[in-house]
Amino acid sequence: MFLKHIDLTTALRPFYLPDEVLLFVQDNVGLYEGKFKLPNYQNGQVYLTTHRICYVDKEDPRSYSVALELKEVDRYEFYAGFFKSSAKITLIPKPPKRSSVLPSSVSGASHQRNGSSLSRSDSPRSNPEQSPATSATWVCTICSFSNPVPSNFDPVTANAHTPLPPCLACGIKPTLAHVLKAAISGANNRAMNTPSFTSSYPSLDQSGVTPRPLSENLSLDLASSPQTPQNDGESTFQCPRCTFSNHPSLLSCEICGAPLISRKQSPPDAKSSLNDIRSESPGPVIENPKKTEQGSINVSESVKISFRKGGEKIFYERLKGSMTQRKWLLQDAPPAPTRSRLADEDPSTSSPGRSGKKAAGIAGLEQLGLNMRKNNELIIGSAFEDLEALMASAKDVVALAERLSRQNSSGADAMSAEENRLLAESASQLGLITTKDIVGGGGSSQSLYLSELSRNVAEFLTDDSRGVLKQAGGIITLVDLWAKFNRARGGVELVSPMDFEKAARMWEELKLPVRLRTFRSGVMVVQGLDRTDQATIKALLAWLKDLHEFPPEKEVPWDWQQFGMGVTAQETADRFGWSLGVAEEELLMAEEHGAVCREEGLEGLKFWVNYIDMGDVKPAKSQAQRDQEAIVKALKKSGMI
Amino acid sequence: MAAASTAAAGADTSFRFPREYSFPAFFTRQTNLTTHHAQLSKWSALVLAYARHHRIFRLGLSAAADSDLFYNRRLDRRLGMPDIRELLDFMKRDGRIEYASGGGGDGAGGGEGEVVFVYWRKPEEWARKIEKYVEETGQKGGVLTVYELGQGEGTRGTEIHGIDNEVLLKALNVLVRKGRAQIFGQDDSQGVKFF
């Protein structure tokens, strides 16, 4: 098992894979390999997603951030903590080369026959993980040579049409029954030889880790994967006070009312609690972990995640959920099989389709449009046929929705098109948002929620494809950003203004590339880290300089070649793409720096290049300074100096 | 107006306003302290140069606000009254103007509201000029009337000629304090003796 080094976003969060969904975040955790602590991985945040467990170090996130793929995890254990020992979750890797285990295969097969044999009967697909099942052999009836059973041979799906390779020695094809028998007996032998395997799954026979054919996983998961497993004896939490086994979703004990989320050592005030939460633990530290290439760690034993600030129970629950759902299988899955209806229609539509390709001109275009509409109709029609299909073709439907929205908005004016695009694309982002639900509930995790929100907003801002900051001329008021952000969330899990402001204030602390800035008037704006007042002034002055070159629109009484033009905040906002408030504040800032000066007239407040103070006027001297100079002068005169 | 009458004598060539005078923002009070200080300094220099050019010794505020000193008709921009007062306060700190005590002098300032003396030469500088003049003309130890000094034939051609009476008296008082002169006589016919 590998702890792979991962790349982080600008907001120092892990980059998610496509389809990956964040489930839970907890801070103040440490990593262990076996019984030993991993140095440099002792204080960080752990991100549980549908695909991975990511650890991001707090001190040096860029160098010490690793991820563990859930698909490499065989099983996981929960340890509630004892006295000074923090609660831990142990992840035990799969053995390196595992061959298939027959009993589970068979149980899977029976399932499959009961359940979804219909959907599979015409799509023989073998499970990639079953490929190492080559140890079974069949003995040729002609020459008695021991041939290996082909790797892609699956006793469950094999039928009369399954191609069988001939004997390697004599070239005579075996009968299906013969090979089938050999495969099953081979697998039986294996199961008997390795009893430890089967016994190591005490309760995971159904939900677990055993490989099964892909499509069956899908159907099983969809059918039997409730978000919170309810009747599972394992998922109850034992109350630390009265030992009553509570339902996992309860936050306090049903009998004695004691808090179940173990934060005994953390008072409500998160700031002070941070100090007495230990990032040190008495456990031994491993000296030099086996580093492979760049920050990845090869772990032969189990990996432990130590929760020093609680959150382990929710993490455990969500981990269990995601191990059950096994979303990572979807990632490698081929697109959902096109419905049989399509196949039925195919012969009838194929001939006009082919002729349509040849057709030229308007007729050809119309034919193309017709085909496309038919295809769209098919996608929508099949998508809503049942829930399973909808899930399978979710990608197609989202893509279609986006395409439609783009088509719709192409007619409207540019602004609304832009907004529509934002809305449509926010759909894909929905899965990755931070919610109060994802980070653990309770008082002390408020700061964690805020820091996650802070990172989330920073990502939203710096995302190049969305270009929120760029569109606003590199600077945006906090209120505008808040509105945009909530809109991008698609109307769910909206962020309160208070939380938003608090999150924005954390950027500096979290070393994120955006900053909150408060103007003298109290207006709060958001801007990139690299944006300085000097750069802004430079841009303003360059623009004002341009006005010396181009004649003004109407006659002006002053010498515009010498003084240029005065500009209002409105003009500045138009020029730089800022909002009016921002433009005003920036101009005032430039005035404060002495770069521009003001002119109040009938046309309002205008700003000019500062021709008043060109540096030719000496600053006012204080009385003391003047006296001193007079003394020096007098002394010089009298020849003392 | 006293200022205008004295101005007429020297106004043979038109006054050349500085560059800032045609800069629209020059007529708005600046909020930036450094810029504001520069603005006041430039205005101060402008007022003094203007007064020197036109030989203005006393300035009636309300009349001056409409004169082309503070009102650029071409730009249609003017320095507002509060800003003028602020400017005068600034100049007063520098010793460049002084508020005339109400209705004093030859009485011309009485009807025009506030009047200020514009010291494009300070009384001390005037005192030095007078002393120099007295020395050069060999009148040390002699007695001169104040009128003679200001308006008399003897000073014609020098800078002292046409000086405002009150400014002249202030300058003479400087000399008196130094012990170089003595003033005697009544209000109308004051005489001064130089030592």
Going from N- to C-terminal start, the domains of chain A cover: 2-94+262-332, 102-208, 433-528, 533-609
Single-letter amino acid code for the residue at A579:
S
CB atoms near residue A292 (< 10 Å): 13
Contact B165, B106 (CB under 8 A): yes
Structural domains in chain B, sorted by start: 2-118 (1.10.10.570), 123-194 (1.10.10.10)
Question: What are the phi and psi torsion angles at A138 (to 5°)?
Answer: -120, 145
Q: What is the CATH architecture of A533-609?
A: Orthogonal Bundle (1.10)
Equal fold, A433-528 vs A533-609: yes
Per-chain mean pLDDT for chain B: 80
- pLDDT for the residue A435: 53
Query: Which residues on adjacent β-strands are paired with residue A514?
Result: A528
Positions in chain A short of pLDDT 50: 98-134, 194-233, 262-277, 292-293, 338-356, 411-415, 423-424, 426-433, 440-443
Please state, in angstroms and as integers, the Cα–Cα distance from residue A297 to each residue in A2, A28, A50, following that order.
Answer: 6, 20, 21
**A561, closest residue in chain B (CA to CA):** B23
How far apart (Å, rounded) are the C-alpha atoms in residues A189 and A182?
11
The residue ranges of DSSP E strands in A84-199, in sequence order, are 87-93, 137-139, 146-148
Question: What are the phi and psi torsion angles at A501 (to 5°)?
Answer: -65, -45
**A564, closest residue in chain B (CA to CA):** B23
- pLDDT for the residue A392: 66
Classified as helix, coil or strand, B118 is strand
Positions in chain B short of pLDDT 70: 1-13, 102-113
Classified as helix, coil or strand, A421 is helix
Which chain B residues are within 8 Å of A592, Cβ to Cβ? Answer: 32
Which chain A residues are within 8 Å of B39, Cβ to Cβ? Answer: 597, 612-613
Joined together, the tokens standing for residue B87 give 């400017």
C-alpha A441, offset from chain centre: 20
- pLDDT for the residue A438: 54
Which chain A residues are within 8 Å of B21, Cβ to Cβ? Answer: none
From A559, A566, A600, residue closest to B22, measured CB to CB: A559
For chain B positions 62-101, those within 8 Å of chain A (CB to CB) are 74-77
Angle, CA A447 vertex, CA A445 and CA A450 arms, to 5°: 115
Closest CA to A80 of A303, A354, A311: A311
Joined together, the tokens standing for residue A541 give 């002055």
The alpha-carbon gap from A559 to the nearest alpha carbon of chain B, in Å, equals 8
Contact A424, A405 (CB under 8 A): yes
How far apart (Å, rounded) are the C-alpha atoms in residues A30 and B155?
99
Joined together, the tokens standing for residue A382 give 């099949």
**A562, closest residue in chain B (CA to CA):** B23
CATH of domain A2-94+262-332: 2.30.29.30
- State whether residue B16 sits within 8 Å of chain A by CB: no
Joined together, the tokens standing for residue A622 give 């204080």
Q: Which of A548, A596, A612 to mutate to test the interface with B (most CBs of B within 10 A)?
A: A612
How far apart (Å, rounded) are the C-alpha atoms in residues A603 and A598?
12
Classified as helix, coil or strand, A100 is coil
- pLDDT for the residue A220: 42
Question: What are the phi and psi torsion angles at A486 (to 5°)?
Answer: -65, -35
pLDDT tens-digit series, residues B126-179: 888 888 888 888 888 888 888 888 887 777 777 788 888 888 888 888 888 888
Q: What DSSP element (H or E) covers B188?
A: none
Which chain B residues are within 8 Å of A611, Cβ to Cβ? Answer: 19-20, 23, 25-26
Contact A38, A32 (CB under 8 A): yes
The alpha-carbon gap from B112 to the nearest alpha carbon of chain A, in Å, equals 28
What sign does the CA torsion over A139, A141, A143, A147 have? negative
DSSP state of A152: T
- pLDDT for the residue B174: 87
Which chain A residues are within 8 Å of B26, Cβ to Cβ? Answer: 611-612
The alpha-carbon gap from A598 to the nearest alpha carbon of chain B, in Å, equals 6
Classified as helix, coil or strand, A544 is helix
Single-letter amino acid code for the residue at A610:
N
From A591, A611, A620, residue closest to B31, measured CB to CB: A591
How far apart (Å, rounded) are the C-alpha atoms in residues A435 and A186?
51
- State whether residue B24 sits within 8 Å of chain A by CB: yes
How many CA atoms lie within 13 Å of A403's alpha carbon, on the beta-carbon side?
9
Question: Cβ–Cβ of B37/A558 closer than 8 Å?
Answer: no
**B43, closest residue in chain A (CA to CA):** A612
- pLDDT for the residue A295: 59
Query: Which residues on adjacent β-strands are paired with residue A592?
Result: none
- Spatial CB neighbours of B137, under 8 Å, sequence gap ≥ 6: B154
- State whether residue A601 sits within 8 Å of chain B by CB: yes
- pLDDT for the residue B152: 78
The residue ranges of DSSP E strands in A480-536, in sequence order, are 514-518, 524-528
Q: What is the dihedral of CA A608, A612, A615, A621, to 10 degrees?
A: -130
How far apart (Å, rounded) are the C-alpha atoms in residues A265 and A316?
20
From A563, A613, A620, residue closest to B35, measured CB to CB: A613
From A558, A592, A617, residue closest to B23, measured CB to CB: A558
CATH 1.10.1240.10 applies to domain A433-528: no
For chain A positions 516-575, those within 8 Å of chain B (CB to CB) are 557-559, 562-563, 566
- State whether residue A617 sits within 8 Å of chain B by CB: yes
Question: Cβ–Cβ of B20/A611 closer than 8 Å?
Answer: yes
